[in-house]
Chain A
């Protein structure tokens, strides 16, 4: 049923002495929305530019619909890009910008006019044909850039932080519109962002990138609920990561001793030896307060309480100094800075991370 439209095979790239990509492998199915998520400098833009043909990899292959296009010129690839700064031609009208690729193909004038007006309708800018880019707002420029890349009906559309320059409200709205557009046209999107919320909202799959490698590739739910590494856990789920030593493993739950207490996580099918070092990730909303001194839990000191984004955020310090964050809807938690408390969580909601690295 599914068909691989784009494949990256062991791509590496240096700029001077810096290795930007350290072996990138990715398969993208037709109609899929794949997000490359990572902080700036992780190599996501370079990956995109290699797919577009604007950079040549040192080694590895780019396959587009099965054909090797690694060395092909950008104009010979059925791929279009929405650039981060939009890169609209300032000397051309909106219509000329959108019709640019069609004109290069020597399409009929009437066909160009029709395709351009259809593309403008898609991005809800009908009637803006004669405007110059300088006469548009940021959001409108964004839409023109998308229309210009769409009009060619590329097999893969590359989007480099397309919403980065927009304000929060407009960004949310454009996220929905872009996602709807992608579904409606059945297009394949490769989308770059450093905003984990954006990635979780829009993607079919997320590839979390760090230091020129993919840390984890999976659906938003997989990446969010079962981060494989502490980096992914922190970056995607803004989770707490604790490190300790394995105490026991039974009934699908692994418990470890750390910071003067006990912490548990679902074992996710791994086998652990007692005494083995272990890291686990638990999200702040799963952290609970307990008064039962016998339960598996950790003693902690409340550092501060703040209210942000509809959530009460409680910063805690464990006995070894590790910071832990708990968050709650509502403000009725009876803890104050300086209080000694005991925290725990349902092991089913915590996951072991960096397991491969630790073995």
Chain B
């Protein structure tokens, strides 16, 4: 009995916290998205669907399409780099696994905003990268990479790669390597064994890595702002602009709800494909 009462002490604050700071704001946001913008400041309590209709305006649809394009491009690069990285990390000796983990964690000790400013120094005209390439004689003039689409992709990959690595790593770590040996023993070439056994069994990690990188890359507006100038406008930037600059809170709320619905759909799809309850690498 005593144990039980103590358990309550730990569970109740958690519920209160979740209700207050997660569910509460979410309900507020959904309510807000059906309200009408007040003429000067704030909202008036008048039900409308206009905020959602507005999303389908070509300009905003274009923004969604751009965001998707950037998210897909970034995610493809992240998969290409992060999957092999996580896979081979799982094969390291325990000591090296710990070292790698530490190396991957260290960047998190600095604000991601500051790390993005670091990329400005590298990418700007006559910056570190230009100097290096020109010094090696590979390019003749500055590349002017800053404020371009590739710069934004690099920033996204850099900011989100760890999530993919950890997701793949945690799933490859659990892999029973004797299964790969069994496949080889039964006549599979290394590639066939990888395709039919390793890849299939690390798929939950890969897919959760995709979700963990794809969803944030739709909303990481500060990367697009810092490294893309005003050229790359994402859903995240749009929401921020509507909220902070245009003061159109209901429309910002509707955009957020739309983004949330897409996210939920992706997680539902993940559960359907992998039959798993949790995202690999999250727990």
Q: Which residues of A contact B (CB under 8 A)?
A: 52-54, 73-75, 79-81, 83, 85, 87-91, 100-101, 104-105, 148-149, 152
Q: Is there contact, CB below 8 Å, between B185 and A100?
A: no
Q: Is there contact, CB below 8 Å, between B178 and A91?
A: no
- In the complex formed, the residue of B with least CB distance to A54 is B181
Q: Is there contact, CB below 8 Å, between A85 and B184?
A: no
B197 located at the interface, meaning its Cβ lies under 8 Å from any Cβ of chain A in the complex: yes
B-side interface residues, number (CB < 8 Å): 17
Rounded to whole Å, the gap between the CB of B172 and the closest CB of chain A is 15
Q: Is there contact, CB below 8 Å, between B201 and A75?
A: no
Q: Is there contact, CB below 8 Å, between A54 and B185?
A: yes
Interface residues of B in 189-214 (CB under 8 A from A): 189, 192, 196-197, 200-201
Rounded to whole Å, the gap between the CB of B63 and the closest CB of chain A is 39
Q: Is there contact, CB below 8 Å, between B182 and A87?
A: yes
Instruction: Provide the bound-state CA to CA distance between A332 and B76, in Å.
Output: 81
A-B pairs with beta carbons under 8 Å apart, 26 shown: A52-B185, A53-B184, A54-B185, A73-B184, A73-B189, A74-B181, A74-B185, A75-B185, A75-B187, A75-B189, A79-B185, A80-B186, A83-B181, A83-B182, A87-B179, A87-B181, A87-B182, A89-B179, A89-B182, A89-B183, A90-B201, A100-B183, A101-B187, A104-B186, A104-B187, A152-B187
Given known A87-B176, A90-B201, contact A104–B182 (CB-CB < 8 A): no
Q: How many A-B residue pairs have CB under 8 A?
A: 57
Q: Is there contact, CB below 8 Å, between A83 and B178?
A: yes
- In the complex formed, the residue of B with least CB distance to A77 is B185
- In the complex formed, the residue of A with least CB distance to B193 is A75
Instruction: Provide the bound-state CA to CA distance between A100 and B197, in Å.
Output: 11
Other-chain residue from A54, A73, A148 in contact with B186 (beta carbon distance below 8 A): A148
- In the complex formed, the residue of B with least CB distance to A151 is B186
Instruction: Provide the bound-state CA to CA distance between A100 and B182, in Å.
Output: 10
Rounded to whole Å, the gap between the CB of A62 and the closest CB of chain B is 15
Set of chain B residues within 8 Å of A80, measured between Cβ atoms: 185-186
Instruction: Provide the bound-state CA to CA distance between A214 and B189, in Å.
Output: 33
